[in-house]
Structure 1
């Protein structure tokens, strides 16, 4: 599970976030071997925190560890992108519905802060913009009051982040996309605040249907057809 920005306290956490960011941004491309000694030096940690980061990222599916072989960055595939989309299309609306039914005043404060911190994923989109997007969804997940569901969704988000980057590398959000996404976020937040479980689930369903994950499927399938 990714540590939010500003909450990295240990060398293990620091190595994990730095290594994960390099994978997500393509500095360490899919399929590449991880030069662990060199990476530890570049990141500024010993090999022990680096190895722990590799193990954590392997558990999240971002790194492949095989016996007697080098650690490699996991490949991205159209099949996995579709599998992630299919699961999120079911569980994200469930989380939104539960959030609308169970949210507390503290949950709503966190939701409002997260919404205020959102920024467009347009031409100058950064990893921090993706993290802000995640924090908005995380505030919905936490408001569901279901720790098991939160854990499932956090793990799905970890795996889906690389596919969001694939989608943005294919095509950055246009101004029209940014306006649409902002409207979808407002509708989700309003439904949760109003306690309307059905509206919250439907707003989230629409949001996932037009998500970067859905765009990544099309991009990867198009690449497969040209191979």
Structure 2
């Protein structure tokens, strides 16, 4: 199997497919991952699938317990709130630092990622979700703080499910889509202009209206 930029292995394929099924809810939170059945369905042996499970465990999407089945990690309003609280602080910090330390190469990467953005139209639109991540990743990396980048990357892995929950709860209106595009443009421009205060403020506004924030309401409204 090949993919743009290199070889796409069976391990990669099993990881991508298992992650997709978890993010879209095909494998429900808390459910046991049927390893033999799933491996047969996606056309790989159980070895690549077990490797995918280990990778997703490290990302917080799968729970592994000694001598027990692998399960899809549960979701909760409390965890959604905790993720939001951390990102409300760290994302603006990353944007502020990026405005202070960005290079010409960083600006080009952020601009390219911005040009590739597209609206996230539904809970199964993982390509658009990934392009959204690529934009934020470019901003994070421009901060020149590898510890901060690592923390935010790991938070993003866990937060993706909550973004999809938020979108499923209430889809974006045309006004939402226009706002998100404008915020991304403002973040890009503030970083490129070296305006740390503006970059911090726009990113903070962006996080406060994010799908992750919407997920908190969605989960709080679910029946007990």
Counterpart of 1:162?
161
Counterpart of 2:38?
39
Gaps of 5+ in 2: none
Measured at CA, do residues 182 and 5 of structure 1 come closer, stay the same or move farther in structure 2, by a change above 3 Å? farther
Counterpart of 2:195?
196
C-alpha RMSD of matched pairs (Å): 1.7
2-side partners of 1:8 and 1:221: how far apart?
43
Deviates more, 1:203-212 or 1:118-127: 118-127
Equivalent residues of 1:30, 1:76 under 8 A apart: yes
2-side partners of 1:72 and 1:216: how far apart?
22
2-side partners of 1:217 and 1:19: how far apart?
25
1-side partners of 2:137 and 2:193: how far apart?
19
SS at match of 2:221: helix
Counterpart of 2:103?
104
Equivalent residues of 1:108, 1:193 under 8 A apart: yes
2-side partners of 1:148 and 1:214: how far apart?
24
Equivalent residues of 1:122, 1:175 under 8 A apart: no
Counterpart of 2:204?
205
In the TM superposition, structure 1's runs of 4+ consecutive aligned residues that sit over 4 Å from their partners are 4-8
Tell me how far 1:44 sits from its aligned partner: 2.3
TM-score (norm 1): 0.93
Residue 97 of structure 2 is aligned to residue 69 of structure 1: no
2-side partners of 1:70 and 1:206: how far apart?
41
Deviates more, 1:42-51 or 1:7-16: 7-16
1-side partners of 2:146 and 2:7: how far apart?
22
Counterpart of 2:11?
12
Counterpart of 2:50?
51
2-side partners of 1:56 and 1:5: how far apart?
21
SS at match of 1:120: coil
2-side partners of 1:109 and 1:149: how far apart?
21
Tell me how far 1:5 sits from its aligned partner: 8.1
Gaps of 5+ in 1: none
1-side partners of 2:135 and 2:43: how far apart?
31
Counterpart of 1:23?
22
Measured at CA, do residues 114 and 5 of structure 1 come closer, stay the same or move farther in structure 2, by a change above 3 Å? farther
Tell me how far 1:154 sits from its aligned partner: 0.5
- Give the 5 Å matches for 1:115-126: 115-122=114-121, 126=125
Measured at CA, do residues 83 and 6 of structure 1 come closer, stay the same or move farther in structure 2, by a change above 3 Å? farther
Tell me how far 1:53 sits from its aligned partner: 0.8
Tell me how far 1:164 sits from its aligned partner: 0.5
Deviates more, 1:152-161 or 1:16-25: 16-25
Measured at CA, do residues 76 and 7 of structure 1 come closer, stay the same or move farther in structure 2, by a change above 3 Å? farther
Measured at CA, do residues 7 and 145 of structure 1 come closer, stay the same or move farther in structure 2, by a change above 3 Å? farther
TM-score (norm 2): 0.94
